Each structure stands twice: as structure tokens, then as C-alpha cells.
Structure 1
Amino acid sequence: MSNLEVLKIIVVSALVTVALRLLPLFVKIPKNPILNKFFEALPYSVLVLMVFPDIFTSGGTSTYDVVKILIGMAIVAFLSLKKYGLGIIVTISLIMIFLFDLAKIYLG
């Protein structure tokens, strides 16, 4: 894949994400809170659908890599449920992945 194709993919993804984030500002159905909640959650759903499948293939395909990824996902879910900030969640999950990689180098 060339750099131009990658740039096109990034630009289109950014435009779609921004458009979906702005959609709830312009589309309000006054007497239907269920649809309003749907439009508010739509941008986050799209981001999850774009990122989630790549989580499983980005770290590798060995059993060790899949276990590392599943543990990382569990840590992110736990910290999210405890209402930690995004910066702390990302930092802790990156440190965890780094420690798993160090363990793999020294133990493997």
C-alpha cells in the first residue's frame, strides 16, 4: 500500500468520524430520548468498530500474543469501569504491554 493510499484512508476516516460526532448537534428529535441517545452514542460505536478488530492482529498471532492482548483488554475494561481518565488508562496499558514484551524477551 502506498503512502498516498494510507493518507487517503486516514483522511476519509477522520472526515467520517468528525461527521458522525457532529451529527447529534444537528439531529434532535424532541420527544424521543431513545433516538437522541442513539445519535449521541453513534460516534463512539463507529470508533470501536474501526479499532477493535485490529487489536487482535496488531500484537501477533502466537498464543502468548493473544493472551497478552486479552489481558490488556481486561485491564482497559477494568480501569474504564473504575472511571479512570483516558491518559492513565493508555499509560497503564502501554506499560503492561511493554512488560509482557520484556518478559517474552528474557524468558523466551
Structure 2
Amino acid sequence: MANKDVYILIVVVGIITMLFRILPVYIKVNDENEYVETFFEILPISIISVLVFPEIFTAMGTSLFDIGLSIFAMFVVIIMTIKKLSLAHIAIGSVILILILRGMYFGIF
């Protein structure tokens, strides 16, 4: 692929990305419709989930312990989300949980 093709691809992807960001400004949605409002509240969470979810299970490793730890941490994050904790608390808490459990398993603590 030539450099020219790469630059064209970058511009096209940038335009498409900006189109999705600008589109809600021009589309007026009835605020009284609870289903549409719920859809727009859940949309960012679902997009992040689709992007991040497959990486959750293989980011730390592919051993049985690593995958089990990822599943356990995912359930802890779900519980923290249901309790409506802030994103910062969820992120920091899940990282600390994983570090402590890995440290206990490998004998660091």
C-alpha cells in the first residue's frame, strides 16, 4: 500500500468518525420518548463494551488463572457499576483488585 493510500484512508476514517459525532446535533429527538432516551444513555456504554470486552480475557495472559481472574474482576466491576460508583473508582478499584490477587497467587504478598 502506497503512502498516498494510507493518507486517503486516514482522511476517510476521520470524516466518518466526525460524521457520527456531528450527526446528533442535526437530528432532533423527542425528549419525551423514554425508549429513545434510554437508547442514547446506553449507547456509549455498549460501544465501549464491544471495543473492550474481547480484550478483557486475554490482556493479562491466556492461562486458566489469568482468564479466571479476568472473569472475577469483570463481575466485581459489574457489581460496582450497579452500585453506581464513579468510573474513576471502578477503574482504580479493579486495577488494585487484580494487582492484589495476582500478587497473592504468585507469592509477592
TM-score in same-fold range (> 0.5): yes
What residue number does 2:26 align with?
26
Unpaired segments of 5 or more residues in structure 1?
none
Percent of pairs identical after alignment? 32
Correspondence for 2:66: 65
Higher helix proportion, which one? 1
- Which ranges of structure 2 fall in alignment gaps of 5 or more residues? 1-5
Displacement of 1:41: 3.0
Where does structure 1 differ by over 6 angstroms across 4 or more consecutive aligned residues?
Answer: none
CA RMSD of aligned residues (A): 3.1
- Larger RCO: 1 or 2 (CA < 8 Å, sep 6+): 1
Distance 2:107 2:85 in 1: 31
Give the Å deviation of 1:22. 5.0
Aligned length: 97
Bigger Rg, structure 1 or 2: 2
User: Structure 2 vs 1, CA of residues 87 and 106 (structure 1 numbering), >3 Å: closer, same or farther?
Assistant: same
Query: TM-score, normalised to structure 2's length?
Result: 0.68
| Partner SS, residue 83 of structure 1 | coil
Structure 2 distance, partners of 1:35, 1:69, is: 33
TM-score relative to the length of structure 1: 0.69
